Amino acid sequence: MDAHVSPSRIAGRTRAPPSKSYTHRAILAAGYGSGTTVTDPLDSADPRATGRAVEAFGGEVVWTGEGDADDGSEGGAGAIEVEGFGGRPDTPDDVIDCANSGTTMRLVTAAAGLTDGLAVLTGDGSLRSRPQGPLLDAVESLGGRAESTRRNGQAPLVVGEAMAGGTVAIPGDVSSQFVTALLMAGAVTEEGIEIDLKTELKSAPYVEITREVLADFGVDTERTETGFRVPGGQSYGADEYAVPGDFSSMSYLLAAGAVAAADGEGVVVEGARPSAQGDSAIVDVLDRMGAEIDWDRDAGEIAVRASSLSGVEVDVGDTPDLLPTIAVLGAVADGETRIVNAEHVRYKETDRVAAMAESLEKLGAEVTEKQDSLTVHGGDTELSGATVHGRGDHRLVMALTVAGLVAEGETTVTGAEHVDVSFPGFFETMASLGASVSTE
Ligand SMILES: O=C(O)C1=C[C@@H](OP(=O)(O)O)[C@@H](O)[C@H](O)C1
Ligand SMILES: C=C(OP(=O)(O)O)C(=O)O
């Protein structure tokens, strides 16, 4: 499916979809427990994959209710009734398909390390090219078995044989999801798991999201001098768990408002209550760029108006998913926007540093790409519409759609259907704000 976007002015009020990260964790934590209602979950392709894994381990996951937001957008509302597998997962009857979801594959790998038998995990072409090696080594050194069938550290994976727990050293600069996975599984091992980080932790706020969810399910975790520890022999339990709004998804709506809100009007995004999400940094980035932005934390609302933006330096070590959004803002802003500490952004659904460099150049921006940074030299030239490739990556599709709001002429974004990974109602939401966007 292609999305066609023309220059538009937008205005109005909308609601962010629920958080993908919290939804994954709530489903799996409920799976480790006995029975939980997860309210207002994100109903999109990635959390659905985690739900299927919980079922493969012997749980039951029933999605209730349809997306019924006022603007007709999907992806929110309803609930999930999770009947857990009660502590230790069963050996699955079949292969677990994690589809496009890195979070699912990492969290489920460590869970699979608890099964008596072996589980087989796979995913789509993108997921089968992402790094899993350090997590496989960790499961092995904790007493389980974990192999890449192609012996290249990538899925398909074969994992199981009841890891006991213990102490493990892993790198912190590939994916924080390895830490999350081991903390979640470690709570139900005999010995618990102590994680020593060999290199600086990237995407650190995601581990804090994990620790927040685990605490809400009655599971203790600790920070240590060199990493994290989770005591073993714990049980998960929560009758009900409410998922907050998603700041990564919000970043597209806020960026759209900052570059394309109609004169004298603005965009208001609801569902923005403070949480552990590092991506709430988008509010500060927009503020530093000169946007007129106001976050009412008590009301959970962010209001943004269009204003002229200037380039800034942004360290995305903690917030990799913001890179595509900030790169687009940089292309519209005057002066240079330097996005630094970005090497781990290359290990996502696609290499997002290279992909954004290529697409923004195609739209007429000047960029400098380095291994761990992307500099966008904004302002000198107007963006002009072109066909840009979504590369099967939801975040590229959404960020490039925002660029299309201000590029002269029509911008076509290919692979637009991939927004179903994290923000299924994205195009409907944009159209409800007045964006001139159509999909076919
Ligand atoms: O744990 C999570 O929910 C996530 C962690 C981050 O990945 P890395 O830790 O691999 O950087 C982030 O990019 C991803 O979208 C979601
Ligand atoms: C990288 C992402 O997710 P995951 O790692 O779960 O595929 C993302 O949503 O941008």
In Å, the largest CA–CA distance within the chain is: 62
Measure the CA–CA gap between 19 and 422, rounded to whole angstroms. 8
- The Å distance, Cα 243 to ligand 2 centre, comes to 17
Mean pLDDT of all residues in 5-20 = 97
| Whole-complex ipTM | 0.99
Among the bound ligands, name the one nearest to the CA of residue 421.
2
- For residues 161 and 262, membership in a common domain is answered with no
| CA terminus-to-terminus distance, the chain | 5
**Region of residue 72 (left: phi > 0; alpha: psi -120 to 50; beta: else):** left
- The CATH number assigned to the domain holding 427 equals 3.65.10.10
Reported as a pLDDT band with limits 50, 70 and 90, residue 71 is very low
Residue 370 pLDDT exceeds 80: yes
- For residues 175 and 271, membership in a common domain is answered with no
Measure the CA–CA gap between 396 and 292, rounded to whole angstroms. 25
SS (H, E, C) the chain: CCEEEECCCECEEEECCECHHHHHHHHHHHHHCCEEEEECCCCCHHHHHHHHHHHHCCCEEEEECCCCCCCCCCCCCCEEEEECCCCCCCCCCCCEECCCCHHHHHHHHHHHCCCCCEEEEECCCCHHHCCCHHHHHHHHHCCCEEEECCCCCCCCEEEECCCCCEEEEECCCCCCHHHHHHHHHHCCCCCCEEEEECCCCCCCHHHHHHHHHHHHCCCCCEECCCEEEECCCCCCCCCEEECCECHHHHHHHHHHHHHHECCCCEEEEECCCCCCCHHHHHHHHHHHHCCEEEEECCCCEEEEECCCCECCEEECCCCHHHHHHHHHHHHHCEEEEEEECCHHHHHCCCCHHHHHHHHHHHCCCEEEEECCEEEEEECCCCCECCEEECCCCHHHHHHHHHHHCCCECCEEEECHHHHHHCCCCHHHHHHHCCCEEEEC
What pLDDT is recorded for position 76?
A: 52
Last residue of a domain, one of 224, 242, 260: 242
- For residues 299 and 424, membership in a common domain is answered with yes
Helix axes of 352-362 and 394-404: crossing angle, nearest 10 degrees: 20
For the chain, what percent of residues have pLDDT higher than 70? 97
Which structure tokens are listed for 205? 């706020």
Atom of ligand 1 nearest to the CA of 107: 1
- For residues 60 and 189, membership in a common domain is answered with yes
Mean pLDDT, the chain, whole residue set: 96
Among the bound ligands, name the one nearest to the CA of residue 131.
1
Atom of ligand 2 nearest to the CA of 422: 9
Looking at the structure of the chain, the number of domains it has is 2
Residue 139 pLDDT exceeds 70: yes
Ligand 1 in contact with 177 (CB < 6 A)?
yes
- For residues 227 and 254, membership in a common domain is answered with no
Mean pLDDT of all residues in 304-318 = 97
Ligand 1 in contact with 103 (CB < 6 A)?
yes
- For residues 285 and 225, membership in a common domain is answered with no
Nearest CA to ligand 2 atom 5: 102
Last residue of a domain, one of 214, 242, 270: 242
- For residues 286 and 180, membership in a common domain is answered with no
- For residues 228 and 360, membership in a common domain is answered with no
- For residues 178 and 235, membership in a common domain is answered with yes
Q: Which of 155-164, 234-243, 326-335, 372-381 has the lowest mean pLDDT?
A: 372-381
Measure the CA–CA gap between 403 and 200, rounded to whole angstroms. 33
- For residues 309 and 340, membership in a common domain is answered with yes
Q: For the beta carbon of residue 241, count every other beta carbon within 10 angstroms.
A: 25
- The Å distance, Cα 396 to ligand 1 centre, comes to 16
Q: Which are the contacts of 69, defined by CB distance < 8 A and separation ≥ 6? A: 15, 76, 77, 425
Q: Are strands 12-15 and 266-270 parallel, antiparallel or unpaired?
A: parallel
Q: Does residue 321 have an active-site annotation?
A: yes
List 43, 279, 318, 321, catalytic entry: 321
- For residues 11 and 86, membership in a common domain is answered with no
Give pLDDT tens digits for 202-256. 999 999 999 999 999 999 999 999 999 999 999 999 999 999 999 999 999 999 9
What pLDDT is recorded for position 83?
A: 98
Reported as a pLDDT band with limits 50, 70 and 90, residue 77 is low
Ligand 2 in contact with 348 (CB < 6 A)?
yes
- The Å distance, Cα 415 to ligand 1 centre, comes to 22
Among the bound ligands, name the one nearest to the CA of residue 179.
1
Which structure tokens are listed for 162? 């009841």
- For residues 229 and 86, membership in a common domain is answered with yes
Last residue of a domain, one of 198, 219, 242: 242
- The Å distance, Cα 5 to ligand 1 centre, comes to 29
Bridge partners, 358 (sequence order): none
Measure the CA–CA gap between 357 and 327, rounded to whole angstroms. 8
Residue 73 pLDDT exceeds 50: no
List the domain range (segments joined by +) for residue 178: 20-242
Atom of ligand 1 nearest to the CA of 176: 9
